[in-house]
Amino acid sequence: MALEHAILVSLLEQPGTGYELARRFDRSIGYFWTATHQQIYRVLKRMESDGLLAVRGLPQQSRPDKKVYSVMDAGRAALAQWLHEPIEPESIRHELAVKIRGAAFDDPSALIREVERHRKAHSDRLAHYLAGEQRDFTGPTAPGPLDAGQELQHVVLRGGIAYERMTIAWLDDVLATLHRLSGTQPRD
């Protein structure tokens, strides 16, 4: 159900098409909720027929219509209601951790490459988040006093930054452990 609510939040921040939403889910919103365009199109259609969203079809020459969605009162109400319901604290699903425990039944040193790859992906993501933070919140290009929405976006982004930093430190710990177990030298 959370995809529906993530879409409502995103469309309240800014109306847009399914395609645009998919791109936002690859960027800001996607920092904490992912979705493919297939899923987004399907859910948008359902939400529209449920009366939560309004569509405005922009006819384009020699292309299918661009469909710009925006949130109706019923959608805003649905979001408000969800905000007042308690949700379960997340439980993590970390495939790499399964692999690490599985390495006990295989060759631990074979995992080193994979862990290094993940470390790089997380450190890239961290750099990306930090650049976004500079741009939108802390750097000279940032707007002046922030409104509530921006403050909340910033605190969520700080969460993403903290998550990536923690993950990188942990992966270093994992790498050190794997090297220790396989008697190899950690490089750099």
Which residue type, as a one-letter code, is found at position 129? Y
Of 34 and 138, which has the nearer Cβ to DNA?
Answer: 34
Of 90 and 188, which has the nearer Cβ to DNA?
Answer: 90
Report, in Å, the least distance between residue 44 CB and DNA. 7
Q: Locate tokens 């030298």: which residue?
A: 185
From the list 163, 171, 165, the residue with the least C-alpha distance to 114 is 171
From the list 90, 115, 86, 89, the residue with the least C-alpha distance to 100 is 115
Binder of its own copies out of 80, 127, 138, 186 (CB under 8 A): 80
Please report whether residue 167 would count as binding DNA according to CB under 7 A.
Answer: no
The answer to whether residues 70 and 52 touch, using CB atoms and an 8 Å cutoff, is: no
Binder of DNA out of 14, 27, 32, 42 (CB under 7 A): 42
Beta strands, E only, 28-170: 53-60, 63-71
- Helix orientation angle between 18-26 and 37-49, rounded to the nearest 10 degrees: 130
Please report whether residue 3 would count as binding DNA according to CB under 7 A.
Answer: yes
Q: Pattern 11-30, binding to DNA, x per CB under 7 A?
A: ------xxxx--x-------
Q: Which residues, 6+ apart, have CB-to-CB distance to 2 below 8 Å?
A: 33
The residues of the shown chain that bind its own copies, judged by CB under 8 A, are 2, 5-6, 8-9, 12-13, 29-34, 76, 79-80, 82-84, 86-87, 89-106, 108, 110-111, 114, 117-118, 121-122, 125, 148-149, 151-156, 158-160, 162-163, 165-166, 169-170, 173-174, 177, 180-181
